[in-house]
Amino acid sequence: MKLAVQLIDPTEIDVATDALLVGVYEDFGLSPAAAACDRACGGALTRALERKDASGRIGAVTRLLGLVGLHSSRVVLVGLGEKSRLDAANYLKVLAEAAKSLKVGPIRQVASHLATLPIKDRDAAWALSQHILQFSRHLYRYQATRPRKATEVGLDRLLVATMVASATAVQATAMALADGITLCRELGNLPPNICTPQYLADTARRLATELPRFTTEVLESADMEQLGMGALLGVARGSAHPPKLIVMKYQGAADGDAVPYVLVGKGITFDTGGISLKPGAAMDEMKYDMCGGAAVLGVLQAVAQMALPLNVIGVVPAVENMPDGAAYRPGDVLTAMSGQTIEVLNTDAEGRLILCDALSYAKRFKPRTMVDIATLTGACMVALGKHAHGLMTHQDKIADELLAAGAKIHDRAWRLPLWEDYYSALNTDFADLANIGGKHAGAITAACFLSRFVGDLNWAHLDIAGTAWDEGRKGGATGRPVALLVQWLQDRVV
């Protein structure tokens, strides 16, 4: 169920709704909106704080019921922590806890005054945008194969108070981004028997029917054979699901010929490892190995919905990596579209093999900048954990742009070196290069591999192995790095 959002005036404290959502500082007491609310209901908030029934501790949520004097008889009071420490990160924490507390229960509609709080180093437009994004994020529930039970209903309508002059535009942009993130998560969460290469292709085709200036083209095995995509086709050979190369074009620039930004996303719909089979534990999580591709669909949908004045092309090689009698094997030498030969030393290093042909193909669009996004290496997760995307590029300018976009929208990346010194790890006597390096710096040698197919084009690689999903049964796809990429593209509009 999609969250409906409506803007309201901050002076409208007494709206007819299921609950009011206001903040209280740990050291400074009630926020202005909370104070207004307190006055209207005869000091009930002050009394709750005095009795220690409520607290200003950051993220603490208290529900006050049966209040008299307000149209909505409920107030949800959320702790803001110390006033001087309410920065971007803490504000997001406050929103997250407030949203989570409303995920189930009788409150279907809330009027929130959290977007009017002053946030360190951020403006009111950012606060409004993040309010919408965080609520959409934390109220999302996967239900494609497990419909929501009647007992699991919760908030589905958010009224946000804001003083931002351009609030409607901010709202539309935030909702477009929120929807792009949700699309990415939904595709990631779908099981691999449903979210096949065909399913991803159909979803991309649907976007073309729903969005203006949007076209989708899908290349089939025969097309890829003609193009000589021996690396991608090598990986695909073990699967009963034929591979698809999805090409989405959003033509938003006033000048139709304006050079495009190109995004390429790894779309392995399930990664068993192939003949170099992965261990069984947590192998189910390899359904998320298409999250780079899903992010590309999410970004394309978001920028089209925003009507961003840029040309953006998304390329998603969608392939399943399976062991089979026809599967490719360690020792095989594949010839990529670029003509380079690749010795396969491990069939589990399949992402780079489908990406190298997709990158070679994408060069035809003469991109201004090309960014690939991939759940590429366990090594990246070892290096950076689950918080930062790994960023690798030769161009400092692109690195700075992407790092800044990530910091701004709080979807952060961290740069790893891509020095010439690392490239020799891919040397082999049997082909132009091997598909794995040694045991060191696995995230970097994977990027070195990709870079051999990009040449001197403006290019960056985002390894999202640690960030694309949260582990475990309660986890799920995060929708990252859709926000980073959309922010980066928004920042490219002059």
Which positions are catalytic? Answer: 278, 352
Query: Which one, 66 or 279, has the nearer CB to ligand BES?
Result: 279
| Backbone conformation region of residue 105, classed left if phi is above 0, alpha if psi is from -120 to 50, else beta | left
We find the least distance from the C-beta atom of residue 467 to ligand BES, in angstroms, to be 10
Mask 45-84, x = binds ligand BES (CB under 6 A)?
----------------------------------------
350 in contact with ligand BES (CB under 6 A): yes
Contact residues for Zn ion, defined by CB under 5 A: 268, 271, 289, 351
We find the least distance from the C-beta atom of residue 273 to Zn ion, in angstroms, to be 8
Q: Closest-CB residue for ligand BES?
A: 378
Exactly one of 260, 317, 351, 476 binds ligand BES (CB under 6 A); that residue is 351
Is 313 within 8 Å of 368 (Cβ atoms)?
A: no
Q: Closest-CB residue for Zn ion?
A: 271
CB under 6 A: which stretch of 54-62, 200-208, 213-221, 378-386 binds ligand BES? 378-386
What are the start-end ranges of the H helices in 274-366?
291-306, 351-362
Q: Which residues, in sequence order, are CB contacts of 58 under 8 Å at separation 6+?
A: 26, 79, 80, 81, 90, 93, 94
Binding partner selected for residue 377 from ligand BES, Mn ion, Zn ion, none, CB under the kind-specific 5 to 8 Å limit = ligand BES
Query: Which one, 248 or 376, has the nearer CB to ligand BES?
Result: 376
**Alpha-carbon span 31 to 80, nearest angstrom:** 9
Interface with ligand BES: number of residues (CB under 6 A):
16
Strands 413-415, 389-393: parallel, antiparallel or unpaired by DSSP?
parallel
Q: Which two tokens stand for residue 255?
A: 């000048």
Binding partner selected for residue 465 from Zn ion, Mn ion, ligand BES, none, CB under the kind-specific 5 to 8 Å limit = ligand BES
Exactly one of 189, 203, 251, 377 binds ligand BES (CB under 6 A); that residue is 377
436 in contact with ligand BES (CB under 6 A): yes
**Alpha-carbon span 321 to 237, nearest angstrom:** 8
In SS3 terms, 266-288 reads as CEEEEECCCCCCCCCCCHHHHHH
We find the least distance from the C-beta atom of residue 441 to ligand BES, in angstroms, to be 11
Query: Which one, 219 or 379, has the nearer CB to ligand BES?
Result: 379
Exactly one of 348, 357, 401, 411 binds ligand BES (CB under 6 A); that residue is 348
331 in contact with ligand BES (CB under 6 A): no
We find the least distance from the C-beta atom of residue 348 to Mn ion, in angstroms, to be 4
Binding partner selected for residue 262 from ligand BES, Mn ion, Zn ion, none, CB under the kind-specific 5 to 8 Å limit = none
Binding partner selected for residue 314 from ligand BES, Zn ion, Mn ion, none, CB under the kind-specific 5 to 8 Å limit = none
**Alpha-carbon span 299 to 325, nearest angstrom:** 37
Q: Closest-CB residue for Mn ion?
A: 348
Binding partner selected for residue 180 from Mn ion, Zn ion, ligand BES, none, CB under the kind-specific 5 to 8 Å limit = none
Helix orientation angle between 167-189 and 197-210, rounded to the nearest 10 degrees: 160
Query: Which one, 18 or 271, has the nearer CB to Mn ion?
Result: 271
- E strands, 51-149, in order: 61-64, 75-79, 109-112
Task: Characterize 323-340 residue by residue with b for buried, 16 or more Cβ atoms within 10 angstroms of its Cβ, and e for exposed.
Answer: beeebbebebebbbbbeb
174 in contact with ligand BES (CB under 6 A): no
Query: Which one, 67 or 383, has the nearer CB to ligand BES?
Result: 383
Query: Which one, 320 or 350, has the nearer CB to Mn ion?
Result: 350
**Alpha-carbon span 437 to 439, nearest angstrom:** 7
**Alpha-carbon span 114 to 470, nearest angstrom:** 27
**Alpha-carbon span 52 to 55, nearest angstrom:** 6
320 in contact with Mn ion (CB under 5 A): no
Contacts 24+ apart (CB under 8 A), 144-151: 144/186, 144/189, 144/190, 144/194, 145/190, 145/191, 145/194, 148/1, 151/104
Residue 10: Cβ within 10 Å count: 15
Helix (H) or strand (E) holding 463: strand 459-463
Exactly one of 314, 442, 479, 481 binds ligand BES (CB under 6 A); that residue is 442
Q: Give me the numbers of helices (H) and strands (E) for the chain, helices first please.
A: 14, 21
Binding partner selected for residue 378 from Zn ion, Mn ion, ligand BES, none, CB under the kind-specific 5 to 8 Å limit = ligand BES
Closest CA relative to residue 321, chosen from 279, 345, 350, 292: 350
In this structure, what are the phi and psi dihedrals at residue 62, rounded to the nearest 5 degrees?
Answer: -125, 135
Place of tokens 């049966």: 66
Residue 73: Cβ within 10 Å count: 15
We find the least distance from the C-beta atom of residue 350 to Mn ion, in angstroms, to be 5
We find the least distance from the C-beta atom of residue 266 to ligand BES, in angstroms, to be 8
We find the least distance from the C-beta atom of residue 146 to Mn ion, in angstroms, to be 27
Exactly one of 18, 97, 289, 372 binds ligand BES (CB under 6 A); that residue is 289
Exactly one of 271, 320, 357, 463 binds Mn ion (CB under 5 A); that residue is 271
Site for Mn ion in 329-348 (CB under 5 A): 348
Kindly list the residues in this chain that would bind Mn ion in the complex (CB under 5 A). Answer: 271, 348, 350
Q: Using CB under 6 A, list all residues that contact ligand BES.
A: 271, 289, 346, 348-351, 375-379, 381, 436, 442, 465
